[in-house]
Amino acid sequence: MAKKLNERDTENIVRQHFQKDKLFKNITFEEQSSKNPRITKLLKNASKNGSGIGKPEFLISIDDEKDLLIVVECKADILKHESKNRDEFADFAVDGVLLYSSYLSKEYNVLSLAVSGVEKDNIKVSYFLQKTGLSDVEQIFGNRLLPLDDILAGFKQDEARKNEKYKELLEYSQILNEQLHKLKIKEDKRSLLVSGVLIALDNKNFYRDYAGISSNKILSSTLVGTIKEQLKTEDLQGDKIDRLMENYNFIATHPSLTKLQKSKELKTLRELTNDIDENINGYVRTYKYYDVLGQFYIEFLRYSNSDKGLGIVLTPPHITDFFTDIVDIKTDDVVLDNCTGTGGFLVSAMKNMIDKCNGDSSQENSIKQHQLYGIEYQPEMYPLAVSNMFLHGDGKSNILSGSCFDEDIIKTIKTKKPTVGFLNPPYKSDKSDVEEFEFVLNNLECLEKKSLCVAIIPMSCALAQKGERLRLKEKLLSKHTLKAVFSMPNELFKNSKVGVVTCIMVFEARIPQPKNKKTFFGYFKDDGFFNKKTKGRFDYDNKWINIKDTWLGLYFNNEEKVGFSKTKKVTAKDEWCAEAYMETDYSTLTQDDFQKVLNDFVAFGVIYES
């Protein structure tokens, strides 16, 4: 006879979790009722049975956050976590806690916590945030009990904590990569698996039920079916869905995902799904509009040569965010990325545009549905771009599959009247490859007059003084204005195992370069990031925010500063880089600086001779 589950066991797990928290002394932890008359009044008619006083398992008030209230509801049976319509208040944890939230949110920001299960290592956890006076409920965090520090940081979007969580995300990407390697999932399929699981988890029925599916074969088939169901709801019709599903169908047939694993070291699909929900979904829900798939793609292909022949070099997220600051992006801008990759530039644009909406939901919807456009040629990248935008609530049909040089695609994009262009084009690895400047010209051709285009390309393009690249530089200046060039850190793409030295170019579309126009050149070689052997290149000392502000201040004010920036009139035959014109502040040089230059010179020779 099966042991009867006891809800008190679930309550003990939650109680002990908070009692051990280092901030426990700074909170008021109450059970079933509150001594706060304000809370008591709000719960007066909140009974789960329809009449009477509401009695949540726990009510948590935090001393320094008077307007935030945490309410907790527990269930012993993990299958009683959440009902289909969230309207069975007495029987399901999520349903009950959201009922309490609907009453308490009249005067508080309410963080609802639903917990089910009686085994500490096998519980289901859901967090929801309902802000004061609003009916909308937003699911945040992942599937685990969090320290109060993390809850508060997520609630307040603390930048330092965000960096800490990002480091943890990168560490998990390495762990997941090793797990998928053991399962013999090919490198180019790993990001697709992650994106597919995230899409499926966005479906309420799948999220509620997957933990109860014991058969790997049934779960894998259900997962693929859910992906297709989700894509159908997002304005993706006909052959576009079929083409996308061709990339995801392997999940239902791969032996490692459909069969029972004999070794405990090998993760089952259910365990992988749970881990992805806990580690990736938790981050995405807390820190919105972030190109997580791009970062996992970089990690999964880090030791593979499968994308280097294609010239694919994904832009680090702090640089995609920097692009939006360079153009001072507005809520009414229409953004084009004609070399979309995983969609990092579009995700950053979405984030910064929505941040400026001040909660205007109609404006936010317009941005997601009508103001972000991408073009992606590579068939293995296209589903990642589409799924990335799906996960951030975009309209999906705005990512076009095909060549950005296709006349029909150009015509389609021009009808959208883009006002901002971003791109990181494929980098040439063979003489027959398309020149990077051709992609820049293509982007500029699609933009409205006086729009800004920002591109990150190899420094060798900027230095060109002969041949095809010189011809393209002449063409650029005959049609457009070169506003600025920023020399980027030499190791910017270290995490992608790519040694190319790059620069950022800023153009104003459809205004030929004036004869007396001075271009701003920035020597922006230190972004505060540095490399750690096993963890990669990251802003470990939280310097980037201040450095970025300095760079932007120099650029926007067209300011010359010794060692950092210079303004100069240039032609196509000139070198487009700060190093060619900048004065050196010799008073600041040290022996270490000389050693660094020598090291960089040797590294440059190794990279470009290999």
pLDDT digits (tens, 9 = 90+) for 402-436: 999 999 999 999 999 999 999 999 999 888 999 99
Question: How much is the average pLDDT of 46-56?
Answer: 88
What is the chain's Cα-based Rg?
A: 26
141 and 187 both lie in a single domain: no
Domain limit, last residue, from 156, 182, 203: 156
Instruction: Please work out, in degrees rounded to the nearest 5, the angle formed at the alpha carbon of residue 135 by the alpha carbons of 129 and 139.
Output: 30
What tens digit of pLDDT does each residue of 90-132 get? 999 999 999 999 999 999 999 999 999 999 989 999 999 998 8
**Per-position DSSP letters for 47-97, written without gaps between them:** -TTSSS----SEEEEETTEEEEEEEEEEES-GGGS--SSS--TTT-HHHHH
Residue 293 domain flag: no
Residue 608 pLDDT level (bands cut at 50, 70, 90): very low
Q: Which of 313, 276, 349 is nearest to 436 (CA)?
A: 313
Whether residue 173 sits in one domain with residue 134: no
Of the candidate ranges 131-135, 373-377, 441-445, the one whose mean pLDDT is the lowest: 131-135
CB neighbours of 582 closer than 8 A, spacing ≥ 6? Answer: 521, 523, 562, 563, 564, 565, 566
> Helices marked H in 392-505 — which ranges?
407-414, 436-446, 459-463, 467-479
For residues 364 and 392, give the distance between their C-alpha atoms in angstroms, rounded to a whole number: 12
pLDDT tens digit sequence for 530-539? 988 777 888 9
> Residues 329, 354: contact at Cβ < 8 Å?
no
The answer on 247 and 384 residing in a single domain is no
Kindly tell me if the per-residue pLDDT of 395 is higher than 50: no
What pLDDT score was predicted for residue 497?
A: 67
Q: Which of 257, 286, 315 is the last residue of a domain?
A: 286
Least confident piece of the model among 341-350, 447-456, 478-487: 341-350
Q: What is the pLDDT of residue 314?
A: 82
Res 388: pLDDT: 85
Q: Is residue 443 a contact partner of residue 503, using CB atoms and an 8 Å limit?
A: no
What's the pLDDT score for residue 610? Answer: 41
Identify the residue whose tokens are 């990512």: 399
Predicted local distance difference test score (pLDDT) of residue 235? 62
| pLDDT score at 297 | 82
> How many Cβ atoms from other residues are within 10 Å of residue 550's Cβ?
13
Whether 137 and 177 share a structural domain: no
Over residues 139-176, the pLDDT tens digits come to: 988 888 999 988 887 787 766 667 778 888 888 998 99
310 confidence band (pLDDT: 50, 70, 90): very low
Q: Select from 325, 373, 332 the least CA-distant residue to 352.
A: 325
pLDDT at 168: 86
Please check whether residue 428 lies inside any domain of the structure: yes
Q: Are residues 112 and 175 in the same domain?
A: no
Is residue 536 a part of any domain in this protein? no
Looking at residue 302, what is its pLDDT?
65
Question: By three-state DSSP, how is residue 147 classified?
Answer: coil
Token code pair at residue 320: 């995609």
What's 395's DSSP letter? Answer: -
- Greatest mean pLDDT range, 289-293, 547-551, 604-608: 547-551
Residues 107 and 253 placed together within one structural domain of the fold: no
pLDDT at 276: 92
For residues 554 and 556, what is the distance between their CA atoms, to the nearest angstrom?
A: 6
Distance CA 12, CA 76 (A): 11
- Please state the pTM of the whole predicted model: 0.76
Q: Please tell me whether residues 316 and 340 are part of one structural domain.
A: yes
Residue 126 gets the label, from left (phi > 0), alpha (psi -120 to 50) or beta, of: beta
Which residue range forms the structural domain that includes residue 467? 307-524+558-584
In terms of domains, do 322 and 384 share one? yes
Share of the chain above pLDDT 70, in %: 92
| 519 in a structural domain | yes
Do residues 399 and 386 lie in contact, with contact meaning Cβ atoms separated by under 8 Å? yes
Domain check: are 329 and 278 in the same one?
Answer: no
Element spanning 172, H or E = helix 159-182
Give the domain CATH number at 364.
3.40.50.150
Q: Which residue has the higher pLDDT, 357 or 261?
A: 357
Q: Are residues 481 and 354 in the same domain?
A: yes
Please indicate, yes or no, if residue 296 is contained in any of the structural domains.
Answer: no
d(CA 283, CA 162): 9
Q: For the chain, percent helix, then strand, then coil, each to nearest 5?
A: 45, 15, 40
Token pair for 185: 């999932």
The last residue of one of the domains, among 139, 156, 173, is 156
In a domain, 532, yes or no: no
Same domain, 127 and 200: no
Provide the pLDDT for residue 309.
42
Report the DSSP beta bridge partners of residue 27.
62
Mean of the per-residue pLDDT values of the chain: 89
- In terms of domains, do 113 and 171 share one? no
User: Does residue 550 sit within a domain?
Assistant: no
CATH number where 112 lies: 3.40.1350
Say if residue 397's pLDDT is above 80: no
**309: nearest Cα among 502, 498, 537:** 498
Whether residue 301 lies inside any domain: the answer is no
**Total tally of structural domains belonging to the chain:** 3
